[in-house]
Amino acid sequence: MQTQVLIIGGGATGTGLARDLALRGVRSIVVEKRDVNAGASGGNHGLLHSGARYVHSDPHSAAECREEAEIIKRIAPQCVEDTGGLFVAVAGDDEDYVARFPGLCEASGVPCTPMAVEDALEREPELSPKTIAAYAVRDASIDPFRLSLENLYHARDMGAGYMRRTVVEKFEVDGGRIVGVHLRHTRSGRETVVEPEYVVSASGAWAAWVAAKADITIPMRYSKGTLLVTHERMTDHVINRLRPPGNGDIVVPGGTVSVLGTTSERVHNLDTIRPTIPEVDENIIEGAPMVPRLATARYVRAYAGVRPLIDLGGSGDDRAVSRGFELFDHAEDGVENFFTVTGGKLTTYRLMAEKTADLVCQRLGVDAPCSTHEEPLPPADRCRWTEPGLTPREWARRHSPDDALLCECEMVPRSTVDDIMSGCREYASRPALRAIGLRSRVGKGACQGAFCGIRVGAHLYDAGEFDSPEGLVRMREFFSERFKGQRPVLWGVQLAQAELAEALHCGLMGLDRVQTGEPDGTDDSGGGDEHEH
């Protein structure tokens, strides 16, 4: 295969780069080891930052977030719930920091409006009665899966390619250029060689791993963050604790749920990232003084993501490391057609893609300017199923009576599953349950797939997509992934729910006796479906 640009990584930056290049007339192929948003783009709050969180520790990133958030609200409103945000302090918080906060926001150009405590409590009754200060900011909630999928669909409509379940095996370097990239499909073992003019690694936390295949070193550190998903929506606004960033200090609403987080723990092994019970406890302990009902809320799951941070030495506190991004031109390392873009935030994905595309186009001799800051991101109808909150009445109005409902928690009908299956076939790869879950709300509701996983699996058998025992293997993979996030929150009602699921999946279907696992230990295609937002 030949292409102008090979993009390694199918997160927000990689898919955004494919769209940016396509709008400039440049052909690209995106390769992803698992599936869309398998890394940090799928393991985050879903917070579209106003910039206010970083005015104290990282003013440059605060300004970038402020500018990019307003652009995203304008070009991709279908991906954004413009909730607004509140920064609130409670009794015992550092009142000196509270007093300096408006000035810090002003210095970074971040809009910040003081609010009377009684007005804040009226807007958000779940706030602590011990609230002593409140400021309104322009935070919002964003659907990261719809964002990346729509970037990818638009890029593909303009000629870009996408290869999922595909891992980079090696770079073939000749004369200071990558002349061939050897790829392997993680399930079939099929090998492909791509001959690109330029290679861009947009692989997030895996940037150092990819660069090492060209004998290049990128200094990085990895900060794991664990987040929790509530059974119901706790607030209407994004709620931030008015203090320097810490654990359990943000509640982000989206659709019918809220996301609480996050922790910060230095990790070294990217293959064993999962939430732990102590991290869950820490989030709740720290979050409850701000929103007391968090102490008794039902949590349907926890999930974890890894922040890819550029290690420039200095402080051992990962929260003090800049959230800015870095664009590496590896010509300085002896490989002239290889670039890496990493770091940054979901909020700044478009800017990261723009700066990378500028450099690639300069080398290609393409003088077309960036247009992603003005060109609206076209809504893709099949992507709307990542959005939570569709009510039974809305579903009934949109669908015929014979369109069977396969997921009752999130109102996902059979026609949606069929449409997702059709779209996945365009990637020349048979989809599994986890790929369907990534592209819809299947498995994301209160039952966490206990019932809908069986219904969707049965439908795939009826449609001839599954045969025994392969279908049982794919069902176990799906349920195992859902359980990974439930395990740290198994108490109360959620524990009873898990026991019912175990009875169905093991006692009735015998899935505990089904063997799974890829030959090289990689995950199934839907690796990025941790984010419940």
User: 520: exposed, middle or buried (C-beta count within 10 Å: 0-12, 13-18, 19+)?
Assistant: exposed
- pLDDT of 352 reads 97
pLDDT grade for 125, boundaries at 50, 70 and 90: very high
Per-residue DSSP letter, 325: E
Q: Is the pLDDT of residue 281 over 70?
A: yes
> What are the Cα distances from residue 400, in Å, to 158, 384, 390?
33, 18, 16
Which are the contacts of 339, defined by CB distance < 8 A and separation ≥ 6?
198, 199, 200, 201, 327, 328, 329, 330, 356, 359, 360
Token pair for residue 17? 């780069």
61 sits in which H/E element: helix 59-75
Q: What is the mean pLDDT of residues 20-29?
A: 98
pLDDT in tens, 328-355: 999 999 999 999 999 999 999 999 999 9
Which SS3 state, helix, strand or coil, does residue 169 take?
Answer: strand
Q: What is the mean pLDDT of residues 119-143?
A: 97
- pLDDT of 521 reads 37
Token pair for residue 510? 């015998």
pLDDT in tens, 482-501: 888 999 999 998 899 889 99
- pLDDT of 317 reads 64
Q: How far is CA 453 from the centre of its chain?
A: 22
Which region, left, alpha or beta, applies to residue 49 given φ > 0 means left and ψ of -120 to 50 means alpha?
beta
Span between the terminal Cα atoms of the chain, in Å: 37
Which are the contacts of 128, defined by CB distance < 8 A and separation ≥ 6?
88, 90, 289, 290, 291, 292
Instruction: Tell me which residue of 313, 315, 372 sits closest to 348, measured CA to CA.
Output: 372
Which SS3 state, helix, strand or coil, does residue 528 take?
Answer: coil
- pLDDT of 410 reads 84
Q: What is the pTM of this model?
A: 0.91
- pLDDT of 520 reads 39
Which SS3 state, helix, strand or coil, does residue 340 take?
Answer: strand
Spatial separation of the C-alpha atoms in residues 129 and 138, rounded to whole Å: 23
What is the dihedral sign for C-alpha 199, 383, 376, 64? negative
Instruction: Tell me which residue of 260, 303, 301 sits closest to 445, measured CA to CA.
Output: 301
Report the greatest alpha carbon distance in the chain. 68
Q: What is the mean pLDDT of residues 300-309?
A: 92
Q: What is the mean pLDDT of residues 122-140?
A: 97
Residue 104 or residue 391, greater confidence:
104
Which are the contacts of 218, defined by CB distance < 8 A and separation ≥ 6?
207, 208, 211, 310, 328, 340, 342
Which are the contacts of 374, defined by CB distance < 8 A and separation ≥ 6?
75
pLDDT in tens, 142-153: 999 999 999 999
Q: Is the pLDDT of residue 446 over 80?
A: yes
pLDDT grade for 314, boundaries at 50, 70 and 90: low
Among 5-9, 304-308, 320-324, 466-470, name the one with the lowest average pLDDT.
320-324
Spatial separation of the C-alpha atoms in residues 325 and 310, rounded to whole Å: 8
Which domains, from first to last, does the chain contain?
Answer: 2-40+145-219+323-364 (3.50.50.60), 80-140+222-310 (3.30.9.10), 381-513 (no CATH)
Which are the contacts of 91, defined by CB distance < 8 A and separation ≥ 6?
130, 132
Spatial separation of the C-alpha atoms in residues 516 and 483, rounded to whole Å: 15
pLDDT grade for 255, boundaries at 50, 70 and 90: confident
| 250-254/80-81 β-pairing | unpaired
Q: What is the mean pLDDT of residues 412-441?
A: 80
Helix ranges, 197-266 (H): 207-212
- pLDDT of 402 reads 81
